[in-house]
Amino acid sequence: MRIVTLQESTKKNILENLLKRSPNQYGQYEDSVKEILEAVKTRKDEALFEYEEKFDHAVLTPETIRVSEAEIQEAYEEVDASLLVVIRKALENIRSFHEKQKQYSWFDPKPDGTILGQKVTALARVGVYVPGGKAAYPSSVLMNVVPASVAGVKEIIMTTPPSLEGGKVNPATLVAAKEAGVDVIYKAGGAQAIGAMAYGTQSIPKVDKIVGPGNIYVALAKKAVFGHVSIDSVAGPSEILVLADETANPRYVAADLLSQAEHDELASAILVTTSRELAEKVSEEVDAFIKTLSRKEIIQKSLDNFGYILVAQTMQDAIDVTNEIASEHLEIVTKDPFQTMTKIQNAGAIFLGEYSSEPLGDYFAGPNHILPTNGTAKFFSPLSVDDFIKKSSIISYSREALEPIHEDIEAFAKAEQLTAHANSIAVRFKK
């Protein structure tokens, strides 16, 4: 990996390079996505089935687009029993973590007859998008479905491409969905699936919110339908940043960097350290590991384009650039990682210590792995139960509570030249 001495000019260039990975930079695909969405919006199932045949090579009908119970049972027979055990263990951890995020309605009554409060209501119907293709991501199924289920969403539907031979869905995806509590699964992928959930078709109902990762077409489609429905985020490629000092194990650091570089040629893997010696050892370990890994071509392109080892003069300089990059995954491997963590402002998920490797969070620990990317950790949070609820303010005043303040409200309204507002209060006290 390239080793770069951290300076203000190099930091600026690196940040600009990383931002090239954002879905907001892929405007050339937007026209195609808009065309697909408009077709699904206007022609509904007819357009949806056409695009499924074109892109996923699956001939679907209103009867076959919905995954049947027989197909789900067949998936259970095809999935290795040991994987099912692991899915259930992970599911328990994920559910336990998200249960702690639940919010409840509250009311604050006063002796004068005032009642203020907040009513928490789960969304009625949520759509989860799950990528297909050659790879299966049952972990993402769990991470998207569990917080919706814990929040109390009444109906959770899922769409995923029928990308296997015979128009089948990956069995691990189906099993994970059933275990997590998905109500209905549809065979649909790409921008057309996002359009179907956003606008509704004869086969797929309109949802209130769409969550889940996907390719650039899915990301842009989610961006385009925002406003018709809510979305979780416009996710970019995966990324990891390891913040380390001279106490870090270079072999562990190298392995963790590569765990994200293998996702995608656009993935980013960055080490920020105060130790030139660690930087050089990590670079050597990376080179050695790549030769043994199955996705070496993808890893190498990722590192060539978006991989860096940054050597900072001080730990404060290292922390500053870490906060500026605002990585999706941040590992802190320093002498006192908890103390270092207190200075971190921007990160999706933070992993502390040399045995808290990033894949622990991807699969098993419990916190959500749907995280803000491309610097959006500066203002976004991981997917959570909060994403599947809405809050209504509650205001109740008696006459006795309103009377001593009614003139204050009228004066405020008149100051804004909104006399109808003022009259709405005054009329209650005119004789």
Spatial distance between the Cα atoms of 262 and 200, rounded to a whole number of angstroms: 36
Spatial distance between the Cα atoms of 304 and 296, rounded to a whole number of angstroms: 12
The question of whether 421 is a catalytic residue gets the answer no
How many CA within 13 A on the CB side of residue 381? 7
- Name residue 188's amino acid: A
The question of whether 74 is a catalytic residue gets the answer no
Spatial distance between the Cα atoms of 109 and 120, rounded to a whole number of angstroms: 17
Residues 187, 58: contact at Cβ < 8 Å? yes
The order of strands in the sheet holding 349-352 is 3-5, 307-311, 268-273, 239-244, 329-333, 349-352
Among residues 389, 390, 382, the alpha carbon closest in space to that of 97 is found at: 382
Handedness of CA 183, 186, 191, 192 (dihedral sign): negative
Q: Would strands 329-333 and 307-311 be described as parallel, antiparallel, or unpaired?
A: unpaired
Q: Would strands 268-273 and 155-160 be described as parallel, antiparallel, or unpaired?
A: unpaired
The two three-digit tokens of residue 429, written as one number: 């006290």
Among residues 314, 241, 308, the alpha carbon closest in space to that of 275 is found at: 314
Residues 67, 186: contact at Cβ < 8 Å? yes
Residues 132, 83: contact at Cβ < 8 Å? no
Region of residue 350 (left: phi > 0; alpha: psi -120 to 50; beta: else): beta
Residues 8, 313: contact at Cβ < 8 Å? no
User: Which of 52, 98, 263, 329 does the annotation list as catalytic?
Assistant: 329
Residues 232, 383: contact at Cβ < 8 Å? yes
Residues 72, 182: contact at Cβ < 8 Å? no
User: Which of 285, 328, 331, 358 does the annotation list as catalytic?
Assistant: 328
Give the contacts of 360 (CB within 8 A, at least 6 positions apart): 351
Task: Please give the DSSP secondary-structure letter assigned to residue 429.
Answer: T
Taken as a whole, the chain contains a residue count of 431
Spatial distance between the Cα atoms of 77 and 79, rounded to a whole number of angstroms: 6
Catalytic residue set: 328-329
